[in-house]
Amino acid sequence: MTRHMRTAIATIALLAGGVAGCARNPVTGQRQFVLMSEGQEIQMGQEAAAQVERSLGLVPDSALQRYVRGIGLRLAAKSERPKLPWRFGVIDDPTPNAFALPGGPVYITRGLLALLDSEAELASVLGHEIGHITARHAVTQMSRSQLTQLGLGVGMVLVPELQPFGDALGTGMQLLFLKYGRDDERQSDQLGFRYALAENYDVSEMDDVFAALARASESEDEGSIPTWLSTHPAPQERIVEIGKLVAAAQLPASPRLGRTELLNHIDGLVYGEDPRQGFFRDGLFLHPDLRFQLRFPRDWRTQNLPDAVVAVSPNQDAVVQLSFDEGDAATAANRFFSQQGVQAGRTGRETINGNPAVVGYFQAQTQQGVVAGIATFLTFNGRTYRLLSYTPSRLLNTYDATFRGVINSFATLTDPTALNVKPKRIDLVRLESAMSLATFNQRYPSTIPLTEVALINQVTDTGARLPAGTLVKRVN
């Protein structure tokens, strides 16, 4: 039994027994209904953070991570819960988002960093997320939820490798989809405002974040995690409320903006999807760094996560999941088929496009019923890959040929255009003379449209002149 499962079972037992508790809210001082202690809250957050970092990955830029962590820790030190084990990180995901986990972890994506224009804006985002933690919003909401809505192992399969796609990725990932009430969001805005102001930041920048996110949401694509605005109230309402806070606050004489500091730290940051980490082309998954390809049915929903590539059938009744495994193919296969709850079927050694593999049919008991499928363990370039294809047992005959087609498509990537693909990156240019953004885009072309260049620079009028010396983002 894993530690995660023990935590889940303990929480379920607590709820099932009807044990409730009351504690004082650290922000308001009022008594609130909660079902976990601060220690349990911290433990849940730490476990969830580990899963989020494993599933989504952190941006491999130690200087950027230190920069964001330093700002977050200074803000958290001014909060009502300064002694929590705070941790801050930048997630390697292009979706504009920031989120908090119970007990201290706070994350912002590189997709949101690309939209920001100053350190003051970054502080307002981090402060808002800190507010969710100090006010225990997640803990309170989870305590009020019914057992089946908690996502604490209730729908978890008995076989850890058979993680269903989407909401059942685990507690850490499910917490990303947790939606707070409008009162919670307003309170977090107010707390974030207060924390940023205490650190002398220009809090009038806070409404610019909402405006930029509103513009970005108009043309966003579906990502692996929800966008910030998808879990927050309407931005116009929040802009008005921030304006009221600014008008009523005693602002510092020389507020900290930190535009140059932020922009210098995101100069060179990957923009959008990073094709070096794998990308799809008409159902074909290509991974330049690992030099392999795998073909999925074109009408299946696909997703590339840092630790797995997943495809789900249109009817959401079949899953194919590719990930790494430990040991050689035979060792990995023995470990999988010997698990409790797994019944092995016909199994044997095969060669798939020159790569040694162990392929076997299996059945497994899950809390959703019996699933059946094919488990493939393949050695390629010194790594062992696990390819699990499964569906409800009654549908295995329906999907067997499709599963086999995916398995047999695993091959060495030889396409030079795919092997040499490069990610887009943010590039800073300091204007030598005054010019409009439209002129700038002509003189320093980007690989993205002018409307998108305007978005990441928070410019609403591309014909308006920008002063000489202004740092402007482009993407190349």
What residue ranges in 188-341 does DSSP mark as E strands?
Answer: 270-271, 279-281, 284-287, 292-295, 301-305, 308-312, 319-325
Residue 16: pLDDT band (50, 70, 90) is very low
Please tell me whether residue 444 adopts helix, strand or coil conformation.
coil
Which of 247-256's residues contact partners 24+ apart within 8 Å by CB, and which partners?
A: 249/193, 249/197, 249/203, 251/197, 251/203, 251/204, 252/197, 252/200, 254/200, 255/120, 255/200, 255/201, 255/202, 255/203, 255/204, 256/119, 256/120, 256/199, 256/200, 256/201, 256/202
Q: List the one residue out of 135, 66, 65, 67 whose CA is nearest residue 100.
A: 135
Higher model confidence: residue 305 or residue 352? 352
Which 3-state string (H, E, C) describes 158-194?
Answer: CCCCCCCCCHHHCHHHHHCCCCCCHHHHHHHHHHHHH
| 69-73, 142-146, 157-161, 346-350: least confidently modelled range | 157-161
Q: With 60 as the cut, is the pLDDT of residue 153 above it?
A: no
- Residue 383 belongs to what domain range? 276-419
CATH number of 342's domain: 3.40.1000.10
- Dihedral in degrees, nearest 10, Cα atoms 133, 136, 138, 144: 180
* 157 and 301 co-located in one domain: no
Phi-psi map region of 381: left, alpha, beta (phi>0 left; psi -120 to 50 alpha)? left
Percent of the chain whose predicted confidence (pLDDT) is above 90:
64
Q: With 60 as the cut, is the pLDDT of residue 274 above it?
A: yes
Residue 422: pLDDT band (50, 70, 90) is very high
* 95 and 230 co-located in one domain: yes
Write down the pLDDT at residue 341: 86
What is the mean predicted confidence (pLDDT) over 156-171?
Answer: 41
| 16-25, 27-36, 408-417: least confidently modelled range | 16-25
Summarised one tens digit per residue, pLDDT across range 453-473 is 999 999 999 999 999 999 999
Query: How far is it, in rounded angstroms, from Cα 400 to Cα 389?
Result: 9
* 370 and 437 co-located in one domain: no
Query: How far is it, in rounded angstroms, from Cα 326 to Cα 400?
Result: 26
Percent of the chain whose predicted confidence (pLDDT) is above 70:
82
Q: With 60 as the cut, is the pLDDT of residue 53 above it?
A: yes
CATH number of 438's domain: 3.10.350
* 349 and 464 co-located in one domain: no
Summarised one tens digit per residue, pLDDT across range 178-205 is 567 778 888 999 999 999 999 999 999 9
CB-neighbour burial class of residue 261 (10 A; exposed 0-12, middle 13-18, buried 19+): middle
* 295 and 327 co-located in one domain: yes
Among 419, 442, 462, residue at a domain's last position: 419
pTM equals 0.80
What is the mean predicted confidence (pLDDT) over 248-252?
Answer: 88
Q: With 80 as the cut, is the pLDDT of residue 145 above it?
A: no
Residue 1: pLDDT band (50, 70, 90) is very low
Rg for the chain, CA atoms, rounded: 24
If one counts the domains in the chain, the total is 3
Summarised one tens digit per residue, pLDDT across range 314-326 is 998 999 999 999 9
- Is there a contact between 347 and 359 (Cβ–Cβ < 8 Å)? yes
Q: What is the DSSP letter of 144?
A: H
Write down the pLDDT at residue 184: 83
* 80 and 163 co-located in one domain: yes
Residue 7: pLDDT band (50, 70, 90) is very low
* 280 and 381 co-located in one domain: yes
What is the mean predicted confidence (pLDDT) over 5-13?
Answer: 37
Q: With 60 as the cut, is the pLDDT of residue 224 above it?
A: no
Higher model confidence: residue 154 or residue 89? 89
* 249 and 361 co-located in one domain: no
Residue 243: pLDDT band (50, 70, 90) is confident
Query: How far is it, in rounded angstroms, from Cα 27 to Cα 207?
Result: 23
* 19 and 42 co-located in one domain: yes
Query: How far is it, in rounded angstroms, from Cα 224 to Cα 52?
Result: 12
Among 210, 232, 267, residue at a domain's last position: 267
* 326 and 455 co-located in one domain: no
Among 225, 242, 267, residue at a domain's last position: 267
Write down the pLDDT at residue 174: 52
* 48 and 154 co-located in one domain: yes
Higher model confidence: residue 20 or residue 475? 475
Residue 34: pLDDT band (50, 70, 90) is low
* 223 and 342 co-located in one domain: no
Q: With 70 as the cut, is the pLDDT of residue 162 above it?
A: no
What is the mean predicted confidence (pLDDT) over 215-227?
Answer: 59
